[in-house]
Structure 1
Amino acid sequence: MIALIQRVLRAEVAIEGDSVGAIGPGLLILLGVERDDDRQKAAKLCERVLAYRIFGDRQGKMNLDVRQAGGSVLVVSQFTLAAETDKGLRPGFSRAAPPELAEQLYAYFNHCCRQADIRTETGRFAADMQVSLVNDGPVTFWLQV
């Protein structure tokens, strides 16, 4: 399971011009699910993302996690994170989870975030979404379990 996390001042996901999720300061989490992923990996990745210290403390050092910084999360499913890009000019997706599994684990990841008492907004699984954000820093990390 892969999370591309971006520290944001704000982020929003829209479908056909209608906002379906928006946050102020916090994390935009683009979530990719691979074939061998399961609930255990989803819970572990959620825990790691929420505890990842990428927000500035009083001295400006990255010592705070999203909860300590008072932030929210916006989670957007993105199967293209599981793409094979090492050869050729077209990505392959044989590592990506089938849609049924990906949808289940995306929902479970969101559930884990909410259970951790953090405001969680989401996109809509398998929809054509438009994501807008103001990256703070920019600060972007790739986490994988």
Structure 2
Amino acid sequence: MRAVVQRVSKASVTVDHAVIGEIGLGFLVLLGVSADDVASDADYLVDKISGLRIFEDDQGKMNRSVIDVGGAVLAISQFTLYGDVRRGKRPSFDEAAKPDHARPLYEHFVAQTRRLNIRCETGQFQATMSVCLVNEGPVTILLDSKKRF
């Protein structure tokens, strides 16, 4: 699994002109699932994201987690994180999981995040969504459960 984690002061997701998920301080997480991912990949990302110390402490250093600051997560499924353009300019999505494999892992990620008592809002799986955010910093972290980067 791959995640793009953005530290935000606010973020929202809209489907068909209706806001379906919205947070204040926290993380916008764009989450991609590959064909060979399993539940432990989602668990790894939940653990890593919930513990990421990228919020400032009293000394102005990035030293606090989303839990420490009482923040929330907006999790958006995004298969395009597995877009491969090494062979041309049109992305190939061969590594991305099919929806019947990706949906349960996305839902597992959300459920595990909520089990940590982190408020977790979501987008709508397989929908065309509009995502708005205010990236604070900006701070953006890339994660891969296979540790490829």
- What is the TM-score when the length of structure 1 is the normalising length? 0.98
2:60 maps to amino acid = G
The equivalent residue for 2:19 is 19
The equivalent residue for 1:143 is 143
**Structure 2 CA distance for aligned equivalents of residues 57 and 51 of structure 1:** 14
Measured after TM superposition, the shift of residue 83 of structure 1 is 1.1
**Structure 1 CA distance for aligned equivalents of residues 10 and 31 of structure 2:** 18
- What is the TM-score when the length of structure 2 is the normalising length? 0.96
Q: Give the SS at the match of 1:92.
A: coil
> What do you get for the CA RMSD once the two structures are aligned?
0.6
The equivalent residue for 2:36 is 36
Gaps of 5+ in 1: none
The equivalent residue for 1:119 is 119
Gaps of 5+ in 2: none
Aligned length: 145
Alignment of 1:53 with 2:75, yes or no, is no
Deviations 1:32-59 (A, max 9, x none): 0001100111111111111111100001
Q: Give the SS at the match of 1:48.
A: helix
The equivalent residue for 2:110 is 110
- Superposition pairs for residues 39-118 of structure 1, below 5 Å? 39-118=39-118
Measured after TM superposition, the shift of residue 69 of structure 1 is 1.3
Measured after TM superposition, the shift of residue 99 of structure 1 is 0.8
**Structure 1 CA distance for aligned equivalents of residues 112 and 82 of structure 2:** 21
2:36 maps to amino acid = D
Percent identity over the alignment is 47
Measured after TM superposition, the shift of residue 87 of structure 1 is 2.2
